[in-house]
């Protein structure tokens, strides 16, 4: 499969919102993505694009010397092509360029595929947030030293 990964632009906001609507409960709006990409110097978003269509994205927020992974999402029909792994590597490289020490994230305790991806990418479990999500599911806290 041919795809390229690049920085997101405000023109991608509609696609990012559509991916979230397809995959997540409580998706962010197009306006939220547009504002973050356009106005927030601490936000970084990347997209994977195939044949002119955005098929995946990941976004992080820089706080002091840490990157916080907000979301990583790959449309279901494109999973299994190592897109998420490559995006995670790019985000780690970006964190190093921004002089960050760690990348942190929260993941649903039931999301085994995501947990396996993060562990494969070098993340370690460092804690738990009880009843973190709106449905009272716990969040596993993970981080990766850069």
pLDDT tens-digit readout, 51-99: 999 999 999 999 999 999 999 999 999 999 999 999 999 999 999 999 9
Mean pLDDT throughout 109-126? 97
- pLDDT band for position 25 (50/70/90)? confident
Q: What is the pLDDT of residue 1?
A: 86
Contact in structure between 66 and 44 (CB atoms under 8 Å): no
Residues of the chain with pLDDT > 70, as a percent, come to 100
Question: What pLDDT is stored for residue 4 in this prediction?
Answer: 97
Give, in words, the CATH class of 4-145.
alpha beta
Q: What is the pLDDT of residue 26?
A: 84
Give yes or no: 61 in active site. no
Instruction: Please name which of 80, 92, 145, 76 lies closest in space to residue 116, comparing C-alpha atoms.
Output: 80
Residue spans per domain, the chain: 4-145
Q: Is the pLDDT of residue 101 over 90?
A: yes
CB neighbours of 77 closer than 8 A, spacing ≥ 6?
Answer: none
Q: Which of 106, 112, 132, 133 is catalytic?
A: 106
78 catalytic residue (yes or no): no
Q: Which of 20, 30, 57, 118 is catalytic?
A: 118
């Amino acid at each position: 499969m041919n795809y390229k990964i690049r920085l997101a632009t405000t023109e991608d906001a509609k696609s990012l919102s559509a991916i979230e609507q397809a995959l997540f409960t409580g998706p962010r709006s197009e306006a939220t993505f547009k504002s973050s990409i356009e106005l927030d110097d601490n936000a970084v978003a990347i997209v994977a694009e195939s044949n002119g269509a955005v098929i995946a994205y990941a976004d992080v927020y820089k706080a002091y010397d840490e990157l916080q992974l907000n979301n990583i999402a790959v449309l279901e029909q494109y999973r299994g092509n190592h897109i998420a792994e490559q995006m995670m590597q790019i985000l780690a490289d970006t964190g190093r360029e921004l002089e960050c020490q760690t990348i942190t994230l929260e993941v649903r305790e039931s999301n085994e595929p995501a947990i396996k991806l993060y562990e494969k990418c070098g993340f370690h479990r460092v804690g738990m947030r009880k009843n973190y999500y709106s449905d009272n599911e716990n969040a596993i806290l993970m981080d990766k030293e850069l």
